[in-house]
Structure 1
Amino acid sequence: MRKFIVSSIALMVSTCLYAQDETQSNTAVVDTPAPMETITVTSVRQRLEQAGTLANTIVKTEVVSALTIENKNAVNLTEAIDNSPGVKVSNECSMCGVKRIMLNGMKGEQTTILVDGLPVHTMVSGYYAVDAIPTTGVVRIEVARGAGASLIAPEAIGGVINIVSYDPTDSGAVVDLSIGEDGYRKLGFLGKGVSEDGATRATLIGQYDDRDQYDGDHNLVNEQPSQQNRSLTARLSHDIGAFDNLVLRYSNINSEVFGGPMLGATFADGRANSIGSVLRAYANNPSENIDLFENGDVNQNFTGNAWETTEWINTKRNEASVAWLKEWNSTLNSHLAVSYADHSQDSFYEGFDYVNDDKMWFYDARFNFAVSDEHLLTFGVDYRTEEMRSHSVAGAANPDYVADSFDYHVAGAYLQDTWQALDELEISMAVRADKVQADFVDPQKPGTELDETIVSPRIDMRYHHNAQWTSRLSAGRGYRAPLSFFETDHGILDGSLGFEIDINALERSKSVNYSLSYEGERLTSTASIAWTEVANLAALTTNEHGTPLLHQMDDKASSITSDISLGYRLLDDLTLNLTLENFNYNATFKHSYAIAPVEQRVSFNLDWDIGGWDFYASAVWIGSRDLSEYGYEGYDRLLSSNQADPSSKKSTDAPAYFTLDVKATYAINDTMSVYFGASNLLDYTQVDKSESPLFFDANGNFDVAYIYGPLRGREAYVGLKLEF
């Protein structure tokens, strides 16, 4: 399979224009009988997008549409984009369920998330609550891979995910309610209103979703935590006359994650009746390692104190933004924007408490000037300031503890020329200059750790060979400041031992992406290949005293990602899609990963509309991996509290596997539809088919991240959707 994927991509065999809605419009069209003409109402923003003075149509961008999100029954962002070309959502902890969104094989912290083109996610919000970002009210998700893919987000080494909000064209409401196995519940509400003249458009969006803990091997410790998310978003878009548009947005998200001991079971410190009862039972009286499980074996019942496996994370996030678009004349428009985010976390990690509050402000002033029919200049300045403060009672008791509190400031200026060089050739040349300052403010970290000026160029080209074939080439440079122990898996868990920070340079990256595309009447395909290299990559290790150390690797890390996506419309109402992907990482990158990433992946999906029914199926195959290349080593049993049983060594051969998702939807009428389906229909999990993610190291220390396969089993569900 590896040879087939690599050779196919290298030859760029059938390839084609990605079915990308780059300039999707929410235009309201009113059809009247002939001979009356069609009346089209567009907003200021939509008109400029259609004229090409706002939309960037050159960068290769994968688009996850609202229909795809619905077909996948995706509750949150991570479920919506997982297994898209070049995208992998990595589950990196069986207790806390932390998710990392990886693009082009890069680490999750190297992905930037935007909402309506603006940053509203802080440095630490990419670790928890990314799977609390709701899909209700999302019209599409745009994924642009490669360093500097967004003009205002040069720190996106892996790429950019842009969540595009729904902009209504009529008044009404949508209610989506579903329930399923393992406590799955979801309620989504979208209220929309449009003024009579169409100048004012408002949405009110609410979503609640919930899942219970999952314990596939019934050893009283979960493989997936419970999670409860609540969100409320209000958005207003108003055209002030014919040349100005104002967009206001506010969102509040709350997420609570609880993992570890199964609630309702009895442990050494009593019955775990509730989250509160488990947290209150903490008494700093840890069990001997060999007493954590029956016979010192992670595959048997957990017998320690409930708090010894408890990981609880309560996250609250407030987001706000305002954007003013003004058309000065036929050749000049401006876009002024401000966004704000306040991300706070209260958490408990197996006896170690950690609280942080991260506030971010972003300001952007951008101008688009049509110099001629061939050149569109985009230029502007932006400023980002972020302040994160953390504290820990347990950490403060250790004189070696260094808090990861920081101040981060970036002032930047950018210039981009979009040039229609030929009828067939478009070229976008951009450059940013940034002054970056990052300071760990703990008294034990005097001075400013990062104080650099960096220039980040990028070029994108699109060439139409003919009506069917298109090439895209992008090359760019990016950077990122590694500023938190959440950069690394479980760095925070050993915080009671103290932290040590050795960060003195920005991560710097280079990337090149090429794609060749084909679009026919029934067949569409895209083949692409991407290379990324990162210098000063941050990683977690320990010093000579065993204290966790956040440092930067001496050697450069690199990856090559290649993929082919094929789509074929077999019938007018039946579409088949196939994607083959290969990810190749050098040794430096492999050593930096906490969880072994995907190396080969094949995805197949089917969408069939017939007789009021819509059938959707998606199968994903993941190739086998050698876990020893990623530093995996663990044992299932102990001989004593500080010695593992050599005969219980875990396997380092991760087997290939595949998962299957299915969904069927029936439209009862224009306002009501019902649906049912199942995620992971075949109920494949790592625990059931292979082994537990729990393990001991050679010295008897317990950990929870021997992960390489799915950890949550089948989730069957039924739902009802109402549109008024």
Structure 2
Amino acid sequence: MKPHMLAMAIGLATASAMTQAAEVSTQSPQKGEKAETPVMEEVSVMGVRERLMQAGMLKDVIQKTEVISSLSIEQMQAASVAEAIAEAPGVRVNNECSMCGVKRVMLNGLRGEHTTILVDGIQTYTMMAGFYGLDAAASAGIESIEIARGAGASLIAPEAIGGTINLVTREARENAVEVDLSGGENGYRKGSLVATGITDDEATRVTFITQYDYRDQFDGDNNGVSENPELENQSVTLRLSHDIGERDNVTFRINKTESEIFGGPDGADIGEARASFAADDSDSPSLFVGDDVRNQWIGKTWETTEWIESERTEIAASWLHEVNERLNTTLTVSVNDHEQDSFYEGFIYDAENEMRYYDARFNYALNDDHHLTFGVDHRDEELRSETNSTSPNYVSDSFDYDTLGFYIQDTWTATENFQISMAVRVDQVEADFVDPQKPGTEIDETIVSPRVDMRYTHNEQFTSRFSAGRGYRAPLSFFESDHGILDGDDGFLINVDELERSKSATYALSYEGDKLTATWSLAYTAVDELAALSENGSGVPVLDQLDDTATVLTTDLALTYQLRDNLTLSAVLESFNYNDEFKQSYGVVPVEQRINLGVDWEISGWDIFVSGTWVGSRDLSDYGVPQEPTFDAAGNFAKSNNAESYWTVDMRVSKEVSEGVQLYFGVTNLTDYNQAEDMETPLFYEDGGYDVAHIYGPLRGREAYAGVKFTF
């Protein structure tokens, strides 16, 4: 952990060591009776926000939601949010570049830009933060992750065509400090500190979180070019919740995250790459021995370097006020500033992405059966970028984006067993690419987005849920489409003038028995005006929109069986079916079938967790990935268009050796299966041009680790 972060952590942890409130109740023995041991009676002063949530007065939606607990995050040894959600039903974390390691989170088979990230229910992630932000989002201090799939899954996120991922920060419920330190292969290092403090009257709660994590580059085929970049992250978060009397609560959260990614030449650094570019920016006659990506790299350092340094600051505050027993209101504001400096194989791209979000929400209990939620929100986002391109064709991806929306929802308890929630949003949307070569406002529309969620309890074991809704999204930037922004010589064109519009429907049937729990779900999504990358007749990349509707049908079955009190088995089976239009929009092939099997066994104080994931084979030629990829520049050695099926296995073993001390060790990717060594390198040539995104398998091999966690 960085020294200045550790110092801050220790200082705050010490300052927040407050005495918990408790009350001892004793009863004097009557004459002739034996004196009893005094009984400790805990007095719980419930906070305003917690009380209203338990009373149902902060109700939002009733749709099916997967919840990843802090225990699950720990068992997966997840350093980031991307790792924590990777195996959740309906979720695919796609690595879309072997050099920069950009991750896109796909929900219900939709693309990464169709997923909205919330923190404590508040929009804080900008467009750019969705690319490298999840690898930098620390797992420490996350109480749970809530995944809601489908268009309009959140009242404040109509652009979530695929769904929303809500990161819930740990709430302070006691005075405690948790320190977690681990290390392992491939340079893996992770250190975190979580401190919580609460005042005697429990009116003020403080959570402080800091984390540092690091991984080396990974080069599975030892050709001098990494398939997974060096990654270094550090973050600090402070959350404060304070009750003002019995009817008001204010919360404040600030997060500072810094991340550095370096991919490409194995063993080099950004200083060496920049010096190489400054000394000679001409293209090498050959990049690999024999111009074959399977051979040793012989090009200049800068020609395969992708380096991204980002700094993100998030500030969010909300005020909850209970007007009376029927009405409460919440005022929320968040500000996010994301700065990125990057070097993509000689192309310099620096940008600042700012977002401001405001929301005024009202919850009103009309009667015992109807609960109204209504409000207005405003999102203002802008991106300004600079590059070293000298091409007259180059069009900046800078934009202004502004939405003003009104929403209303009625949650109706029709019967004891049937609940229905009906919601609608009306949004005024403006998206303007501000480059001088893009005059006028590209998108200026008013759109109505309805949604309905229903839950029916058949009996004590079976529950049905159905959701249907409409969503939209403005294709904001060329940056989000297959690294199109990186072509500084030919420039690119933006041919976007419509909102992407979606319709989705989801049905889920859940069973809960004494030993077995199961949920089967089916989801269908159709998207019109889907943005996709293409080329014009001159070979210039174009951000365009599809003429035909793109659709995806997703089905999954999640099972958990309590074989014994100390032994739990789990399985998740998933299938994603895309139509041809959707397939052609992908630059990296997605998953079509996946099975995840898990075992959690507690024995003699040991906790053994094993997880295995199978991914089915795919025909790469069905997708918009390179259609004629070759290993060599001359095109004599074609790469396969078949992605074979594979298994990966993770394992973690832990034991509490004394009160407050836990030791653990484990292995990720136990079988060391990775694409470069066991399938084919993600590097390729197409029409003589070199690229790095022929990706369909794991890009990082086995990592063994060990660690210790202290709880005070």
TM range (shorter): over 0.9
Match of 2:80 among 76, 81, 86: 76
TM-fit CA distance, 1:664? 0.2
Match of 2:698 among 702, 710, 715: 710
Match of 1:115 in 2: 119
2:61 and 2:421 in contact (8 A); partners too: no
Q: Aligned residue for 1:623? A: 616
Contact 2:61 2:154 (8 Å CA) reproduced:
no
Count of matched residue pairs: 680
- 1:147 is matched with 151
1:720 alignment counterpart: 708
Letter in 1 for 2:475: P
- Does structure 1 retain, via aligned residues, the 8 Å contact 2:558–2:570? yes
1:299–1:636 CA contact under 8 A, matched in 2: no
**Structure 1 residue 490, shift from structure 2 partner:** 1.9
Q: Distance in 1 between matches of 2:66 and 2:109?
A: 16
Letter aligned with residue 448 of structure 1: T
Does the 8 Å CA contact 1:460/1:474 hold for their aligned counterparts? yes
- Structure 1 position 287 matched with structure 2 position 259: no
Partner of 1:633: 627
- Paired residue for 1:497? 490
Asked if 1:444 is matched to 2:440, the reply is no
The letter for the 1-side match of 2:612 is A
Shift of 1:608: 1.2
Alignment counterpart, residue 242 of structure 2, candidates 224, 238, 241: 238
- 1:279 is displaced (CA, Å) by 1.6
1:372 matches 2:361:
no
2:489 counterpart SS class: helix
2:209 aligned partner, one-letter code: I
- Residues 214-267 of structure 1 deviation map (CA, whole Å, 9 limit, x = unaligned): 00100000010001001011110000011111000000000000000012xxxx
Does 1:462 find its partner at 2:462? no
* Counterpart Cα distance in 1 of 2:284 and 2:335: 46
Map residues 591-630 of structure 1 onto 2, 5 A cutoff: 591-630=584-623
**Structure 1 counterpart of 2:6:** none
Q: Counterpart of 1:361 in structure 2: which amino acid?
A: R
SS of structure 1 residue aligned to 2:74: helix
Instruction: Report the counterpart of residue 342 of structure 1 in structure 2.
Output: 337
What are the equivalent positions in structure 2 for 1:271-420 lying under 5 Å apart?
272=268, 274-283=269-278, 285-288=281-284, 291-393=286-388, 395=389, 397-420=390-413
Deviations 1:48-83 (A, max 9, x none): 111111134611000000000000000000000002
CA distance, structure 2, for counterparts of residue 236 and residue 137 of structure 1:
14
* 1:675 and 2:664 correspond: yes
- What's the counterpart of residue 533 of structure 2? 540
Superposition pairs for residues 214-253 of structure 1, below 5 Å? 214-253=218-257
Amino acid at match of 1:286: S
The DSSP-based 3-state class of the residue aligned with 1:467 is coil
Distance between the aligned counterparts of 1:191 and 1:550, measured in 2?
Answer: 46
Give the Cα separation in 2 of the matches to 1:285 and 1:617: 49
Q: How does 1:420-439 map to 2 (within 5 A)?
A: 420-439=413-432
2:33 matched residue in structure 1: none
**How many angstroms apart in 1 are the aligned matches of 2:423 and 2:693?**
41
SS of 2:485's equivalent in the other structure is coil
**Rounded Cα–Cα distance in structure 2 between residues aligned with 1:29 and 1:105:** 50
Q: CA deviation at 1:614?
A: 0.7
User: Shift of the alpha carbon at 1:450?
Assistant: 0.3
- Which amino acid is the alignment partner of residue 662 of structure 1? M
Query: Percent identity at matched positions?
Result: 55
Q: How big is each residue's C-alpha offset from its partner over 1:587-631, in whole Å with a ceiling of 9 and x where there is no partner?
A: 000000111100000101111112211110000000000000013
Question: Secondary structure at the residue paired with 1:188?
Answer: strand
Is the 2:667–2:702 Cα contact (8 Å) retained in structure 1? Answer: yes
Letter matched to residue 96 of structure 1: C
Give the conservation status (yes or no) of the 8 Å contact 2:568–2:600. yes
Q: 2 CA distance for matches of 1:158 and 1:229?
A: 27
Name the CA distance, whole Å, in 2 between partners of 1:355 and 1:501. Answer: 19
* TM, length-normalised to structure 1: 0.92
Does the residue aligned with 2:178 lie in a helix, a strand or coil? strand
**Residue type of the partner of 1:490?**
H
Deviation at 1:37, TM superposition (A): 5.6
Greater RCO, 1 or 2 (C-alpha within 8 Å, sep 6+): 1
Q: Is the 8 A contact 1:319 1:341 kept in 2?
A: yes
Structure 2 counterpart of 1:655: 644
Structure 2 residue matching 1:40: 3-state secondary structure: coil
Paired residue for 2:516? Answer: 523
d(CA) in 1 for partners of 2:478 and 2:165? 23
CA contact (8 A) 1:244 1:324 kept: yes
Q: Secondary structure at the match of 1:227?
A: strand
Q: Secondary structure at the match of 2:106?
A: strand
Distance 2:370 2:688 in 1: 65
Match 1:691 to one of 661, 664, 680: 680
The alpha carbon displacement at 1:505 in A equals 0.4
Provide the residue aligned with 2:197 in structure 1.
193
Conserved? CA contact 2:23–2:41, under 8 Å: no
| Alignment RMSD | 1.5
For residue 322 of structure 1, what is the amino acid of its counterpart? A
State whether residues 45 and 201 of structure 2, in contact with CA within 8 Å, keep that contact through their aligned partners in structure 1.
Answer: no
For residues 129 and 431 of structure 1, the distance between their equivalents in structure 2, rounded to whole angstroms, comes to 30
How many Å apart are 1:496 and its aligned residue? 2.7
What residue is the counterpart of 1:576 in the other structure? 569
Alignment-derived partner of residue 34 in structure 2: none
Query: 1:276-318, CA deviations, whole angstroms, 9 ceiling, x for partnerless residues?
Result: 12122104533356x1100111001000101000000011100
Question: Alpha carbons of 1:30 and 1:421: their partners in 2 closer, same or farther (altered >3 Å)?
Answer: farther
Output the CA distance in 2 between the equivalents of 1:659 and 1:564.
Answer: 20
**Which stretch of structure 1 is more off in the superposition, 702-711 or 541-550?**
541-550
Judge conservation of contact 2:22–2:41 (CA < 8 Å) in 1. Answer: no
The alpha carbon displacement at 1:499 in A equals 1.6
Instruction: Please state how far the C-alpha of 1:636 moved relative to its aligned partner.
Output: 4.1
| 2:34 aligned with 1:41 | no
- Quick one: distance in 1 between partners of 2:410 and 2:162? 23
Determine the C-alpha separation between the residues in 2 that align with 1:97 and 1:665: 30
Q: 1:619-647: per-residue Cα shift (whole Å, max 9, x none)?
A: 00000000000133344444xx6x421xx
**Following the alignment from structure 1 to structure 2, what is the Cα–Cα distance between the partners of residues 496 and 29?**
69
Aligned to 1:202: 206
Q: Describe the SS at the equivalent of 1:282.
A: helix
* Aligned-residue offset at 1:31: 9.5
1-side partners of 2:675 and 2:548: how far apart?
Answer: 33
User: Alignment partner of 1:128: what SS?
Assistant: helix
SS at match of 2:403: strand
CA distance, structure 1, for counterparts of residue 22 and residue 308 of structure 2:
46
CA distance in 2, matches of 1:35, 1:29: 12
Give 3-state SS (helix, strand or coil) of 1:336's partner. strand
Does the CA-based 8 Å contact 1:338-1:364 persist in structure 2?
A: yes
Structure 1 runs not aligned, ≥5 long: 1-26, 264-271
What is the alpha-carbon distance in structure 2 between the residues aligned to residue 456 and residue 545 of structure 1?
A: 39
Are the aligned partners of 1:248 and 1:321 in contact in 2 as well (CA < 8 Å)? yes
Tell me, yes or no, if the aligned pair for 1:28 and 1:42 is still in contact at 8 Å.
no
Contact map agreement 1:321 1:339 (CA 8 A) in 2: yes
Is 1:700 aligned with 2:700? no
CA distance in 1, matches of 2:711, 2:158: 40
Mapped to 1, the partners of 2:45 and 2:562 lie a distance apart of 32
Stretches of structure 2 lacking an aligned partner (at least 5 in a row): 1-19, 26-36
